[in-house]
Structure 1
Amino acid sequence: MSLLLARIARSLSHHWIRGLVGAFVVLIALGAVSQVGGEAVDDFSTPGTESQKAIDLFQEHTPALAGVEATIVFHTDEGKITDPEQKAAVQETLAKIKALPEKKIISDPFAEGGTISPDGKLAAADVRWTMDPSLVKAEDGRPVVEAVEAQDGKAGVEVSARGAMIDIGSEQELPVGELVGIGIAIILLWVLFRSKVAMLVTLLGALLGVFLGQMLLAALSKPLGLPSFAAFIATMLGLGAGIDYALLIVGRYREQVAKGDSPRDAAAKSAATSGASVVAAGLIVMLAIAGLLVIGIPFIGKLGVGAAIAVGGVVLSALTVLMALIGAFKKWLTPKNPESVKPSAAFERWGERVTARPWLSIGAGVLIMLIFAAPVTQLRLGQPDDGNQPEGKLQRVAYDRLSAAFGPGSNGTFIIAADTQGGAQAVQADLDKLQKAIAGTAGVAQAAPPTPSEDGEMATIFAIPKSAPQDEATSQLLERLREDTIPAATQGTPLAGKVFIGGAVPVFEDLSAKVASRLPVFILTVIGLSVLLLIMAFRSLWIPLVSALFNLLSVLAAYGVVVAVFQMGIGASLVGSDSDVPIVSFIPVMLFAILFGLSMDYNVFLLSRVHEAYNEGDRPRESVIHGMSRIGKVILFAGLIMAAVFLAFVTQPDVVGKMMGLGLGLAILIDVLFVRLVIAPAVVTLLGDKAWWLPGWLDRILPNVSLEGHLVEGLDKQLTSEHDAVDSTNGHGGAPERETTSSRQ
C-alpha cells in the first residue's frame, strides 16, 4: 500500500495542474449526479416495536395520524380568544394554512369539543398532513412557518406553533458552528506551522475533502436512502477529521523537505508514511461508524453509512487533492527555518517523564478518566421536548402556552390504536372499557372516547399524560399502560394483543429499548473490526487490545460529560441548555462509533512513529520518547483543532446538536491529553519488546499493511528507479527540478 500511495503522491504533486483540474471535473460530475438522483427519503421506522405497529395501523386506516402534524397555538392577553376580533384572526390564520397545496386535516378549535383553555385565553388547532413523513421536505413546512409568523400579533393574538412540520420548516440557522470551528482551526494551524501557506494548504485540503464528502452524500442519498440529518453529522465529522489528516500529511512533507528530499520525493514519502496512517485511521473510523448498521434501526444505520462516506471523502481528498495542492505550493511549503520541523524537545522531555514511572502515569491517567466517566451511572435515555428550545422560538412559545393551559402532558399525547378488524361497533363495549381503564390509570390527565376509523377497522384513543414528554414519570406511565392497564382491560376480549400505543414519546422509548438491546452486539462488532485492522497495521497483538480498552475509557468519559451537563445541569447554562434533559437515545451509539474511530486516529498517528523509531533500532523506552518528540506536538494540535470544531457545534439551537458537539469535543480533548500523551506511552513502555509481538501463525494469515512507508524495503530504490520515468519538469512548464533522494531518517 505504501508504494502505491507514494507513486500516486509523486505523480499528483508533479502534475499538479492535471490533478486539480481532474478534482474539479469529479466534483462537477458528482454535483450533476446528485441533481439527477434527487434527495433521500428519511426512514424513521423502528421495525418490530409496538409504536411501529401503531403507526402501521394508522397508515392503513387513518393516514393523517401517521403523517406529519403541527399544533397551531393562539393566545390573547386582552379579552378572550372567542371574542369576535380575536376569533376572526384565528380563523384567518387557519384559512391561510388550509389554502396551502398539501392535503391536510385541520381541527376547528371553536367547534364542539374544540381546544379552548379554561380561562378562554388560548385556542389550539391540530393540523395533520396525510403525506408520508419520509417524503416531507423543508419547502413543505416553510410556508406553514411563514403563515404563522405573518399572522403573529394581529388583533392582539399571539400565534405560535410546534410539531414535526414546524421543525422541518423552521428557518435554517447560519452555519455558526462551522465558521467558529474553522476560525479556531486557522489560529491553531498558524501557531503550529508558523507558515501562512502551510496553514492555507492544510485548511484548503480539508475543506475540499468535506466538499467532496458532501457531494458523495448528495449523489448517494437517494440510492442508499440516507437521512437528511446525515449531512450535519458528515459536516461535523468530515471537518474535524479532514483537518487532522491534512495536518499530518503536510507536517510530514515539510519534515521530509527539511531533511533534504526533493518536493516529489517528500510528497511520496509523506504519502507512504503519514498517508498510510491516514488510510488505516480512516478505515477504522469508517468501520466503527458503519457498524451502526448492526443496531437494526434504519435511521441510525444509515446515519452511520452517511458519516462513513464523508470520512471516505476526506481520506480520498487527503491522498489526491492535497497532494496536488502540495505540488502547487511546494516553493512556499519548504520551511524557512529547518529547526521548526525538527523533533520537539519539549515532547521529548515529556516522553521521558511519562515513561520514567509508567505505572504512576497509567494510574493517574485512568483515575482522571474514571472521574469524567462517573456520571454515566445516572444515564437516562429519552427524547428532549420543545421545552428545551431557546426561549422565544416558535416551538418553545407554543410548548409553554400549552403547558400553562392544559398541563405539560398536552405536548406529548399518547395515540392508542386498537385493531378492531371485524368493525369497531362490534367491540364498542370493550373499547369503552379500555378507555375507562386508561383514564383511571395513575399519571393520565384525561383520555378521549374511542374514535373509529372511516372503514371501522381501527379505533383511536387519545390519552394525555400529566407529566411532560421528557419526564421520567411519562416513561413510567407508558410502561404501566403497556404492561398492566391495557392487558388487564382487554383480557378475554377480541382486543387482546391488538392495542398499541403510538405517539412521539412511545416511538422514542421503543427506539431507546431497541438500541439498548443491540448495544452489546454493536460494541463487539466495532471493537473486533478495529482490533483486527490494527493487528494488520502494526503486526502486534497487545497494542490493539490495550488500545481498544483505553478507547472504551474515552467513550465512557464522553458519556459522563454529556450526562453531567445535560441531565445533572453542571454547566448547562454555559451551553444554552436546561438541566434534567434526557439523553437522546441514538446519541450514545453515535458517540461510541465516532469516538472509538477518532480515538484510533490519534492512536495510529502516535504508534506509527513509535514503531518507526523501534524499527530503526531504538530500545522500547527510547522508541516511545523519540516517537513522542516527532509526533507529540502534531497530535496535541490536531486534537485541539478537532475538539474546537466539535465544540463549536454547541452553538446549534437544537439540543441534539449541542449533545453531539459537547460530547465529541470534550471527549477528544480528554483522549488526547490523558490517553495518547500519558497512558498510551506508559503502556507501550511497560510492554517493551512484547508490544510488537505477533504469534507466527497469525502473522502468516493476516495481510501486512505497513504504516512506515520509508522503511518498506526498496522504497527509496523504487523512488530512484522511477526518476527517469517521470517528466523532469516541475509540472507546469518551468525549469527542471533537481532530484535528490534521501533516506536519512
Structure 2
Amino acid sequence: MSTLLYALGRWATRAKTLVLIIWIMLLALLGTGAALFGQGANAPITIPGTESQEAISRLGITFPEVSGTSATIIVVAAPGEKLDAEPYRAIMSDAANELADTRGVEGVRSPFTGEVKGGLSEDGEAALITVQLKGEMSSVSAATKDTITRVTEEMRDRLPAGAETSYGGDVFSVSIPSISPTEAVGVLIAFVVLILTLGSLLAAGMPLIIALLGVGVSIAGLFVMTAFVDLTSTTPMLALMLGLAVGIDYTLFIVSRHQEQLRSGMSVPDSIARATATSGSAVVFAGLTVIIALVGLSVAGIPFLTALGVAAAAAVAIAVLIAVTLTPAIMAMAGLRILPKKARLALAAGTEAAQPHTPSRADRFFGGWVRSVTKRPIVTILAVLVLLGFAAVPAASLRLALPNATSLSADDPARVTYELTGKHFGEGFNGPLLLTGSIITSTDPLGLMEDLADEVRKVPGVAEVPLSTPNRGADTGIIQVVPEDGPHAESTAELVKKLRDMHDTWEKKYGVSLAVTGFTAVAIDVSDLLMGALLPFALLVVGLSLVLLAMVFRSVWVPIKATLGYLLSVGVAFGAVVAVFQWGWFGDLLHVASTGPVLSFMPIILMGVLFGLAMDYEVFLVSRIREEYVHGANADAAIQRGFVGSAKVVTAAALIMFAVFAAFVPEGDPSIKVIALGLAVGVFVDAFIVRMTLVPAVLALLGDHAWRMPRWLAKVLPSFDVEGEGLARELAHADWPEDMPDAALAAERLLLSGGEKLHRLRIAPGETLLLNPRDPRSLPLAQALIGRGPVVSGTLKVDGLLLPERASTLRARSAWADATTLRETLRDRPSVLLFDLRQAGEAPVPLERIDALRSAFAARSVESDRGETPRLTVIVLGEAELAKRILGDTLILREIDAVDAAHAVDDLFPQAAGPAQTQVAEGANR
C-alpha cells in the first residue's frame, strides 16, 4: 500500500495541473448531469416483504382510493359556534368539491360531502377533510400540494373570524433537508482549528477546499443516480455531513506530515511522496473501515438503508481518493509556501533542519497529559469506565420510530394540524391503522365488513372504527382503526400486535385473512426490523474491528482494547441521544421540536459511522506508538513519544469532526440532527476520553504484552503496512546493491523459511541462475525468487523489486514452467521465469523436445532485443547438463556458491530477540 501510494504521490506531483483539471471537470460533468437528470431525493421509507408493505401494495391494485398517501385539512370553528351550521358547511363542501377535481387526487372525504361520511368531532367544533392522493409520497406533484395549500388558505379567508384552518397529513409530514447558515459555522470553526494546527492560511485553506470539492462531486453524483434509483431525503445530507468531516480530516493528516518533513529538510517532491505514502496509507485504511461499516448496513436487508449506506460510503470513498490524489497536486503547487513564514525563512537560512527539535507548548501539554493518565493506569481505567458507564445509562431507554409531524417546528402547518387533530379528535386519529383482506368469496360484503368492524371494536386499545367497507368490486375490504393513543405510543405498537394475533381467529370464523397496514403500521414494522438488525450488525462491526486492528498492529490486546472502547463510545452516544430527544434535556438550547422515540435507523447508522471514525483515531494515535516501539523504544517510552507525536493532529481532527457534526444539530433537518448529535458526542468521547485517555492507560498497564501476537495468528493474518515500514526499507535499498545496481537478481544474508541460508548472490541482466535440485536451498530459494516463498530475513531484490515488500508485484511479473508448459508460459511474457527441469531430468528428453524448447527461448530473446517484451531473467531448477543442452551456449549460466553454507551462522544471522529484529523478521516472513 505505502509503495503504491508513494508512486501515486510522485505522479500527482509531476502531473499537478492535470490532476486539478480532472477533478474540476468531473465536478462540472456530474453537476450538469444532476441538473439535467436528477429526480430529487424524496423516496418514502419502505421495507418490501413486511405484512404492512405487502398489504399496501395489494391495495394499490384492488382499492386505490385508500392505498396512496394522503393530506388532511382540519377546520376548527370560532368559539361558541358549530361546524354543521352555515357558513361552515357550505365553505367546507366547496373546498372538498374543488379538491376532488384536482389532478392527482383519488378522492376526498369530509363531514358534508363525498361517498363516505365522517370526520366531525363529537362536540361539532372541529372537522377533518381527508384528501386521498394517487401514488406514493414521492410521486405527488408540487402542483397538487400547492392546490391543497391554496384551498386551505382561501377557506381560512372565507370562514368567520376566530375560526382556524390548517393543512397537514402524511404528504406534508416529511421535510426535505436543506443547508442552513448554521452548517457554515462548523466549517468556520474547522478553519480556525486548521490555522492553529498548521500555522498557515494557505495550509489551513487547503483541506477545506479539497474537502468541499470532494463533497461537491459526491452530492452531484448522488443526484445523478436519482435518475436510476430512489433515495430518501436523508441520504444526500448524511453523505454531505460525512464527506465534509472525513474529507477535511484526511487531507489534514497528509498536509501535517508534509509540513513536518519539510521542516526536517526534505525536498518538496520527496516529502509529498512520503507523506502520501505514510499518512496516505493510514487515510486509506481509515476510509476503508468507514466504507466497510457503511456498506455493512446491508446486513439488515432493508433496501432504503442499503442505498443510504452505499451512498454515504461512496462519499467517503471520494474523500479518500481526492485526499491521496488532489492533495499531493495542490501541495506541489504550493511548494514551500505551505509552511508558516517563520519556518520558510529558517529553511532558507539553513537553520531549521539543523537545529534539534525543541518541545513546543503543545508538546509539553500533551506530554503532561500522557504522563498523568499513565502514572496510575488502573485508577485512570476505572475512572473512565465509571464515567462512561454512567453516561451510557440512558441508552437502556432507547425507543425507535419513523419521524412524523411532531418532529417539525412548532409553527409548521403539518405540526399544527397534527396537534389540533389530537386535541379535538384524540391522538389516535394522527395514526390510524388499516385492516385489509380479500372478501371475494363473501355473499354479503356489507354485512361481513360490519361484523368484522364489531370484532375489531372489542380489541383492547381500539378507540374507534370510523370506516369498514368493501371496494367497488366487492372483492377487497378495508377497516380503518383509530388507536387510543398516538402513533409513537407503545400501546399503539401493542395494538398492532394484538390485531395480528387475532388473524387466525377471524380467518377461521369469517373466512377472511386480514393484514394490518397503514403508515403507522409500516413505521412500526420498520422500527422493529431495524431494532432486530442491531445485534447482527453490532457483531459484524465488532468482529471487523478485531480483525482489521489485528492486521494493522500485529497484536491481540490492542484490537480487544480498541473494540471495547468503541462500544463505550457508542453507548455514550446513544445515551446522549435518548437524554436530548426522548427526555428533553437541553431541548430548547438544541431546538428540539418535541420529545419521543428517536429515528429508527439512527442506531445502526451511528454504529457504522462511529466505528470507522473511532478506527481513524485508533490508527493515527496507536500506530505512532507502535512505530516507536518497533524502532527500539521500551513500552513506556514508546507511549510517551508516540502520544506526543500524534496527539496534536488527532486533537485537531477530532475538533474539526465535532464542529462539523455539531453544526447540523441546532437548525438541522429532524432526521439528520439526531444522527449529527450522536456522532458529535461519539466523536468527542471516543477521541478525548477513549483514545487519548483510556488507550494510553491500558497500553501502560499491558507493557510489552500489548504488542505480542501468537505465531500461528501472525501467519494467518495479512499485514497492512500503515506506518510505511516497507516503503522506508525500499527507499533505503533504492540503489542496492552498490556493486551491481542493475542486477537482475541480488541477495545478501538470506534466511529462508526452512532455515536455509544464502550469503551472497548477484546475477547480471542476461545471465541465468542454475539451481541444483540436490542442494536443500534450491527449492525454497527458487520459490522466494518468484515471490511465492517466504523470506525470514536478509535482503533480496528481483527484477528491481525488493522482497518481500513487492512480492505481489513480482508474482504478477513471474511464472513457473516445466518442459511441457514452457511455450504457453512464455506467451504471457513474464520478466522472471522459473524453469523447473526436475521431472525432465528423471527420464531422457527427446531431441525434438530439446530443439523445441531451445527455439522457444531463442524466439523470446529476439523479442526482448527488439524491445517487444521485457528482458527475461531465467532461473533453472535442474541438472546442469540438461540445462545447458536446452538453453544453449548463448546464455550465461551462474550457480550459487556450493561452499556458501560453510560461513559462520552466528556472524551472518545474529539471533538477537529484541523487538525490532523480531518485528522485521515477522514482517519479512509475511
TM-score, normalising length: structure 1: 0.89
Q: 1:312 to 1:144 in 2, by over 3 A?
A: farther
Q: Find the aligned partners of 2:735 and 2:225 in 1 and give their Cα distance.
A: 41
* 1:643-698 deviation per Cα after TM superposition (whole angstroms, max 9, x unaligned): 12112211246433231121111111111121011111122223333333333333
Secondary structure at 2:409 match in 1: coil
**Whole-angstrom distance in 2 between the partners of 1:201 and 1:720:** 35
Q: Which residue of 1 aligns with 2:700?
A: 685
Instruction: Give the whole-Å Cα distance in 1 for the aligned partners of 2:292 and 2:313.
Output: 8
Of the structure 1 ranges 532-541 and 413-422, higher mean CA displacement relative to structure 2 is found in 532-541
Which stretch of structure 1 is more off in the superposition, 127-136 or 586-595?
A: 127-136
Q: Determine the structure 2 residue equivalent to 1:102.
A: 104
SS at match of 2:589: helix
Name the residue aligned to 1:670.
Answer: 685
In structure 2, the residue matched to 1:42 is 43
- CA distance in 2: counterparts of 1:713 and 1:692, whole angstroms: 21
Task: State the match for 1:353 in structure 2.
Answer: 372
Aligned to 2:167: 161
**Residue of structure 2 in register with 1:573 after alignment:** 588
- Aligned partners of 2:177 and 2:234 also within 8 Å: no
SS at match of 1:73: strand
Residue 518 in structure 1 maps to residue 533 in structure 2: yes
Q: Distance in 1 between matches of 2:637 and 2:226?
A: 49
What pairs with 1:455-494 in structure 2 (closer than 5 Å)? Answer: 455-483=473-501, 485-494=502-511
Determine whether 1:400 maps to 2:406.
no
- Indicate whether 1:270 and 2:275 are aligned: yes
| Structure 1 range deviating more: 120-129 or 28-37 | 28-37
User: Identity of aligned pairs, percent?
Assistant: 33
Partner of 2:888: none
Deviations 1:362-415 (A, max 9, x none): 111111111111111222223454234321111111011111211111111111
2:300 is aligned, of 292, 295, 298, to 295
Counterpart of 2:118, as a letter, is: G
Write the distance in 1 (CA, Å) between the matches of 2:470 and 2:676.
45
Question: Secondary structure of the equivalent of 1:481?
Answer: helix
Q: Aligned equivalents of 1:86 and 1:431: distance in 2?
A: 32
> What corresponds to 1:560 in structure 2?
575
Query: 1:555: how far off?
Result: 0.7
Amino acid at match of 1:637: A
Is the CA contact 1:177–1:645 (under 8 Å) kept in the aligned structure 2? no
What is the RMSD computed on CA atoms of the aligned residues?
2.8
Shift of the 172–373 alpha-carbon distance from structure 1 to 2, 3 Å rule, reads: closer
User: 8 Å contact 2:433–2:482 — kept in the other structure?
Assistant: yes
| Pair 1:646-2:647 in alignment | no
Asked if the contact 2:95–2:155 (Cα under 8 Å) also holds between the matched residues in 1, the reply is: yes
Q: For structure 1, which segment, 81-90 or 22-31, has the greater mean C-alpha deviation from structure 2 after superposition? A: 81-90
CA–CA separation in structure 1 for the residues paired with 2:227 and 2:678: 30
Secondary structure class of the residue paired with 1:455: coil
Pick which of 319-328 and 149-158 moved more.
149-158
The structure 2 residue matched to 1:615, chosen from 611, 630, 649, is: 630
Alignment-derived partner of residue 382 in structure 1: 401
Residue 446 of structure 1 aligns to which amino acid in structure 2? E
Please name the residue that 1:115 is paired with: 119
Instruction: State which of 523, 526, 543 in structure 2 corresponds to 1:508.
Output: 523
- How far 1:609 sits from its partner (Å)? 1.4
- 1:349 deviates by 2.0
Shift of 1:224: 5.2
Label 1:285 to 1:653 Cα distance change in 2 as closer, same or farther (>3 A): closer
User: Any idea what the Cα deviations from partners look like across 1:449-504, whole Å, max 9, x if unmatched?
Assistant: 42112232210011111212212222222222222x55444434312xx2111122
SS of corresponding position for 2:510: coil
Return the alpha-carbon distance in structure 2 between the equivalents of residues 190 and 147 of structure 1. 54
Report the counterpart of residue 307 of structure 1 in structure 2.
Answer: 312
Q: Which of 373, 377, 402 is the equivalent residue of 2:392? A: 373
The one-character-per-residue Cα deviations of 1:239-288 (angstroms, maximum 9, x if unpaired) are 11112112212211111111111222221121111111111011001111
Q: Partners in 1 of 2:428 and 2:698 — Cα distance?
A: 52
Task: Please name the residue that 2:464 is paired with.
Answer: 446
- Distance change in 2, residues 1:45/1:579 (3 Å): closer
Post-superposition offset of 1:121: 3.7
CA deviation vs aligned residue, 1:179-226 (integer Å, no higher than 9, x gap): 222122122222323321121111111111211221332333444544
Unmatched 5+ residue regions in structure 1? 722-745
The one-letter code of the counterpart of 2:317 is: G
Using the alignment, how far apart are the partners of 2:149 and 2:629 within structure 1? 63
Quick one: which of 217, 241, 246 aligns to 1:241? Answer: 246
- Could you list the runs of 5+ residues in structure 2 that have no partner in the other structure? 344-356, 737-926
Matching residue of 1:283: 288
Correspondence for 1:734: none
Retained in 1: the 8 A contact 2:391–2:575?
yes
**CA displacement 1:312-338 (0-9 Å, x = unmatched):** 111111111222222222332113345
Q: Which runs of structure 2 are paired with 1:55-454 in the superposition (5 Å)? A: 55-77=56-78, 79-81=81-83, 84-87=86-89, 89-90=91-92, 93-94=95-96, 97-98=99-100, 100-111=102-113, 113-133=117-137, 135-136=139-140, 141=145, 144-145=148-149, 148=152, 152-155=156-159, 156=161, 158-167=164-173, 173-223=178-228, 225-338=230-343, 344-423=363-442, 425-426=443-444, 429-454=447-472
* Counterpart position of 1:725: none
Q: State how far apart, in whole Å, the 2-side matches of 1:147 and 1:274 are.
A: 60
What's the offset of the Cα at 1:147?
5.7
> Do the aligned residues in 2 keep the contact of 1:568 with 1:579 (CA within 8 Å)?
no
Distance in 1, matches of 2:734 and 2:75, equals 74
| Whole-angstrom distance in 2 between the partners of 1:140 and 1:230 | 25
Larger Rg: 2
Partner of 2:9: 9
Give the match for residue 907 of structure 2: none
- Please say if residues 2 and 272 of structure 1, whose CA atoms lie closer than 8 Å, have aligned partners that are also in contact: yes
The separation in 2 between residues aligned to 1:284 and 1:468, in whole angstroms, is 40
TM-score, with normalisation over the residues of structure 2? 0.73
Q: Is the 1:51–1:506 Cα contact (8 Å) retained in structure 2?
A: yes
Check whether the contact 2:534–2:603 (CA below 8 A) recurs between aligned residues: no
> Residue type matched to 2:225 in 1?
L
Aligned-residue offset at 1:603? 1.0
Contact 1:144–1:166 (CA<8 Å) still a contact in 2? no
* C-alpha deviation, 1:307, in angstroms: 1.0
Q: CA deviation at 1:701?
A: 3.9
Change (3 A) 1:98 1:60: closer
Q: Quote the Cα distance in structure 2 between the aligned partners of 1:99 and 1:192.
A: 63
Distance (Å, rounded) in 1 between the aligned partners of 2:60 and 2:491: 29
Say whether 1:24 aligns with 2:59: no
* Matched residue, 2:650: 635
CA distance in 1, matches of 2:369, 2:165: 61
Alpha carbons 2:250, 2:320 under 8 Å: kept:
yes
Change (3 A) 1:555 1:15: same
Letter in 2 for 1:378: S
Report SS of the residue matched to 2:463: strand
| Greater displacement, 373-382 / 279-288 | 373-382
Paired with 2:146 and 2:701, the residues of 1 have a C-alpha distance of 60
CA distance in structure 1 between the partners assigned to 2:440 and 2:489 by the alignment: 35
| Distance (whole Å) between structure 1 residues aligned to residue 364 and residue 45 of structure 2 | 53
Deviation at 1:116, TM superposition (A): 2.7
What is the correspondence of 1:599-614 to structure 2 with a 5 Å cutoff?
A: 599-614=614-629
Look up the equivalent residue of 1:539 and give its one-letter code. Answer: R
Distance 1:262 1:405, change over 3 A: same
CA distance in 1, matches of 2:469, 2:124: 26
Q: 1:223 to 1:611 in 2, by over 3 A?
A: farther
- How far apart are the structure 1 equivalents of 2:735 and 2:471? 79
Aligned match of 1:724: none
Query: Does the 8 A contact of 1:569 with 1:578 survive in 2?
Result: no
